Structure 1
Amino acid sequence: MTTTTPRTTAPLRVGVVGLGWAGQQHMAAYDALDGVELVAIAGMEDGPRAELQEKFGVPNVYSDWKDLVAAGGLDAVSVAVPTFLHAPISVGALEAGLHVLCEKPIARTADEAEAMVAAAQSAGRVLEIAFNHRRRGDVEALKAAIDDGSIGRPYHARATWLRRSGIPALGSWFTNKDMAGGGPLIDLGVHVLDYALHLFGEPRVLAVSAVTHSELGPRGLGGAVSDKQQVGSAYEVEDLASLLLRLEGGGSIVLETSWAAYRSTGDEFGITLYGTDGGADLRVVDYAPSGELTIFRGNAEEEIDVRVEADPGRGHAAVVDTFLEFVADESSWRDHDGSLALGRARIIDAAYESARIGAEVRLDHDLTITDGEAVR
């Protein structure tokens, strides 16, 4: 089914940088829309680039993202490349006057994220980050249940994304600290952090206490060696991370994520929420289109467990739709500058710092975190 995004001007001309799975999600979403033309893609891989050009009927293809931007004729671009390229490509596109939809995480560090947000603000353009898991149907159904008061005020949660043997590729950029910024915490955990804070209603995170472990990856366990995206890197990042977030208003979230750990087989993510009048549990195994969502209500005399059936949701297609809605409304451009994702990056930075120094790190969102201390 074709989705129509309202337009009052000429068709929006978009490009995509990155030819992998995420980039293809963006291409497919743009291609399905009326009023949008996918006119350029960029990526280094000759074979996939030619295949995707033919599949989506893209008139202009480039091996270098700089050529795509310099060619002009675009209104917006999606950035779906390895994390170390997010900041330079996004900043370059914003400085060229393009709106940018970038894959998660926003960047390797909060410093890079701040540069991206500053570029969006200076250019007066939209910078949006693709947090597609909050757009799952089961997460949206859980958010609706919380918002309608089904569990009262949520005060604690355990949010997870765990794999038994899921290091993306041993020796790839994913396992290189400088290129990736970190391991499963910045890769999977940023999704968990996003949907957990979203479900809580975006409270401020006041402090983070974290531990990270790197036990299996350095021994060549928990993942496969693949020719894909190889850089010959040693295993330099964590393979498991556990965080305690202290929230404004007294709430708390325990977040746990792993690429590799001796646990049940498969890929599992979700969240368990405890509220003043009820609770909820969402569990998704092996990327099931819709997970198992249960709402817990009742009292000592009567326990009520309600299983909620949710539609799959639209994931990246919904993310792209929302991005284009922001782009279509010029009055809202300055309200969508990537600041929410910058906040996520600051929390991730604080978590890695906490793990490094072995102590809780407090966040002052107007200050910089250095060695566990807030300095101006």
Structure 2
Amino acid sequence: MTAALRVGLLGYGWVNRTVWLPRIRRHPRLDLAAVHDPEAADAPAAMSWTGFLDARPDVVVIGTPNHTHAALASAVLERGIPVVVEKPLCLSRAEFDTLAERARGVGLLVSRAAVRREDIRRLAGTLPPGPLTVRASWLRAGGVPRPGSWFTGRATAGGGALLDLGWHLADVALGLLGRPRLVTVAAELRTPGGEHAGGHTPGRAAWRGDTAGTGPVDVEVDGTVRAEFEGGARLVLRAAWESEVATDRTRFVVEGGAERRVLTGTFGFSPNRVAEPALTAWGPGSYRRVTLPDPVGREYDAQVEAIADFASGTLDWEAELAESAAVVDLLEAAYRASGRPLALPESTAV
């Protein structure tokens, strides 16, 4: 019998505690080896930073505040340990290039649950002829992370809804477009206090266990990107923690030639979900609508399977990392175009 692959968790916040840990424990090829989080001494298998590295897990999953991702990943890679990083992998192309170089011969993977969804695979398998225009959106009725937490601080998160939800949208949309070279980009960000289209009182992301907070929110709660690519492809992407919708909704509209595809559902864990997720296709003289199953969290089951493959050396992580580079480039350019470039920390202690 093959021994289970030993997983280390850096950070014991919501994503590692409620998304990755239960799935690691259920997976037949994975076993929890160590956890390091200075603020969670009671976590299972809790260890000091030195003890964590000395335990030498087969793979480390990083689920810490955004501004620490690059420094922590670098430190683990320098020990020759493969790393999986929660999105965003990093906050600039310069950080990306440094990480990619340090990952040579070791292994670096970004958590890419959205592209592993079955409905996304169905959409990708029935694209209209190009050049394509993709309109991608993930809108929440109300789901702002706790005000005053690292998630809502620009110095620690880098960005808000566009970086958080928009990373998933961009990863999927760029894949649908074939990841062409970016030509132009424009972006608009709405920060708290701006005009709210729906007029309702926004709620918090209660399914994350977020309590009501009174601290500042200095990242955007709603962001839109418009991009044009070589070959005529276009992308309009909108991500919002609070918006005019009544039901949290993720939608991809793909148009090319005289054909159109629309995929509607709800990514993530929000219980306020689209009741009947569906893929609809229009063409000359044709119309077809197919309802699709959308079990909550299934894409994260698929991501954990990918982590097991990565740790065992059977996943082409270099190809996946190259695809993530396009996401970094688009989002970095979008924040720069908005006048609010992603904030980078001067240093991060580990």
Normalised by the shorter chain, which TM-score bucket? 0.7 to 0.9
Q: Verify: 1:295 aligned to 2:291, yes or no.
A: no
Q: Verify: 1:40 aligned to 2:34, yes or no.
A: yes
Counterpart in 1 of 2:289? Answer: 306
Counterpart in 1 of 2:216? Answer: 234
Counterpart in 1 of 2:62? Answer: 79
Counterpart in 2 of 1:120? Answer: 103
The 5 Å alignment of 1:48-197 reads 49=43, 53=44, 60-62=45-47, 64=48, 66-121=49-104, 124-146=105-127, 151-153=128-130, 155-197=132-174
Q: Which has the larger radius of gyration?
A: 1
Answer whether contact 2:134 2:252 (CA < 8 A) is retained: yes
Kindly provide the CA deviation profile for residues 120-160 of structure 1, in whole angstroms up to 9, marking residues without a partner as x. 12xx11111012122222212212223xxxx3336111101
Equivalent AA in structure 2 for residue 185 of structure 1: L
Aligned residues: 329
Counterpart in 2 of 1:374? Answer: none
Q: Given the alignment, which residue of 4, 11, 14 partners 1:21?
A: 14
Change (3 A) 1:61 1:349: same
User: How many Å separate the matches in 1 of 2:283 and 2:247?
Assistant: 33
Counterpart in 2 of 1:355? Answer: 338
| 1:327 CA drift (Å) | 3.5
Change (3 A) 1:305 1:316: same
User: How many Å separate the matches in 1 of 2:204 and 2:315?
Assistant: 48
Answer whether contact 1:242 1:256 (CA < 8 A) is retained: yes
Instruction: Report the 3-state secondary structure (helix = DSSP H, G, I; strand = E; otherwise coil) of the residue aligned with 1:272.
Output: strand
Instruction: Report the 3-state secondary structure (helix = DSSP H, G, I; strand = E; otherwise coil) of the residue aligned with 2:219.
Output: coil
Worse overlay, 240-249 or 15-24? 15-24
User: How many Å separate the matches in 2 of 1:85 and 1:117?
Assistant: 16
User: How many Å separate the matches in 2 of 1:229 and 1:68?
Assistant: 32
Change (3 A) 1:337 1:265: closer
The 5 Å alignment of 1:208-227 reads 208-216=185-193, 222-224=202-204
The 5 Å alignment of 1:318-329 reads 318-329=302-313
Change (3 A) 1:205 1:291: farther
Q: Given the alignment, which residue of 264, 273, 280 partners 2:254?
A: 273
Instruction: Report the 3-state secondary structure (helix = DSSP H, G, I; strand = E; otherwise coil) of the residue aligned with 2:298.
Output: coil
Change (3 A) 1:203 1:218: same
Equivalent AA in structure 1 for residue 152 of structure 2: T
Kindly provide the CA deviation profile for residues 148-196 of structure 1, in whole angstroms up to 9, marking residues without a partner as x. xxx3336111101112332211111122111001111111111111111
Answer whether contact 1:170 1:225 (CA < 8 A) is retained: no
| 1:311 CA drift (Å) | 5.7
Instruction: Report the 3-state secondary structure (helix = DSSP H, G, I; strand = E; otherwise coil) of the residue aligned with 2:218.
Output: coil
- Alignment TM-score, normalising by the size of structure 1: 0.77
Q: Verify: 1:258 aligned to 2:240, yes or no.
A: yes
Instruction: Report the 3-state secondary structure (helix = DSSP H, G, I; strand = E; otherwise coil) of the residue aligned with 1:170.
Output: coil
| 1:68 CA drift (Å) | 4.5
Instruction: Report the 3-state secondary structure (helix = DSSP H, G, I; strand = E; otherwise coil) of the residue aligned with 2:239.
Output: strand
Q: Given the alignment, which residue of 171, 177, 182 partners 1:200?
A: 177
User: How many Å separate the matches in 1 of 2:332 and 2:215?
Assistant: 22
Q: CA RMSD in A?
A: 3.2
Instruction: Report the 3-state secondary structure (helix = DSSP H, G, I; strand = E; otherwise coil) of the residue aligned with 1:14.
Output: strand
Equivalent AA in structure 2 for residue 252 of structure 1: R
Instruction: Report the 3-state secondary structure (helix = DSSP H, G, I; strand = E; otherwise coil) of the residue aligned with 1:260.
Output: coil
- Alignment TM-score, normalising by the size of structure 2: 0.82
Work out the percentage of aligned pairs sharing the same amino acid. 27
Answer whether contact 1:203 1:247 (CA < 8 A) is retained: yes
User: How many Å separate the matches in 2 of 1:173 and 1:265?
Assistant: 27
Change (3 A) 1:89 1:217: farther
Instruction: Report the 3-state secondary structure (helix = DSSP H, G, I; strand = E; otherwise coil) of the residue aligned with 1:34.
Output: coil
Equivalent AA in structure 2 for residue 322 of structure 1: A
Instruction: Report the 3-state secondary structure (helix = DSSP H, G, I; strand = E; otherwise coil) of the residue aligned with 2:88.
Output: coil
Equivalent AA in structure 2 for residue 350 of structure 1: A
Kindly provide the CA deviation profile for residues 9-30 of structure 1, in whole angstroms up to 9, marking residues without a partner as x. 6432221122233213222332
Kindly provide the CA deviation profile for residues 292-316 of structure 1, in whole angstroms up to 9, marking residues without a partner as x. 22332342xx342332434648312
User: How many Å separate the matches in 2 of 1:41 and 1:253?
Assistant: 39
Q: What runs of 5+ residues in structure 2 fail to find an aligned partner?
A: 342-350
Equivalent AA in structure 1 for residue 229 of structure 2: L
User: How many Å separate the matches in 2 of 1:290 and 1:201?
Assistant: 30
User: How many Å separate the matches in 2 of 1:25 and 1:357?
Assistant: 31
User: How many Å separate the matches in 2 of 1:331 and 1:258?
Assistant: 32
Change (3 A) 1:154 1:21: farther
Counterpart in 1 of 2:346? Answer: none
User: How many Å separate the matches in 2 of 1:218 and 1:92?
Assistant: 43
| 1:204 CA drift (Å) | 2.6
Instruction: Report the 3-state secondary structure (helix = DSSP H, G, I; strand = E; otherwise coil) of the residue aligned with 2:264.
Output: strand
The 5 Å alignment of 1:2-17 reads 10-17=3-10
Instruction: Report the 3-state secondary structure (helix = DSSP H, G, I; strand = E; otherwise coil) of the residue aligned with 1:19.
Output: coil
User: How many Å separate the matches in 1 of 2:158 and 2:129?
Assistant: 37
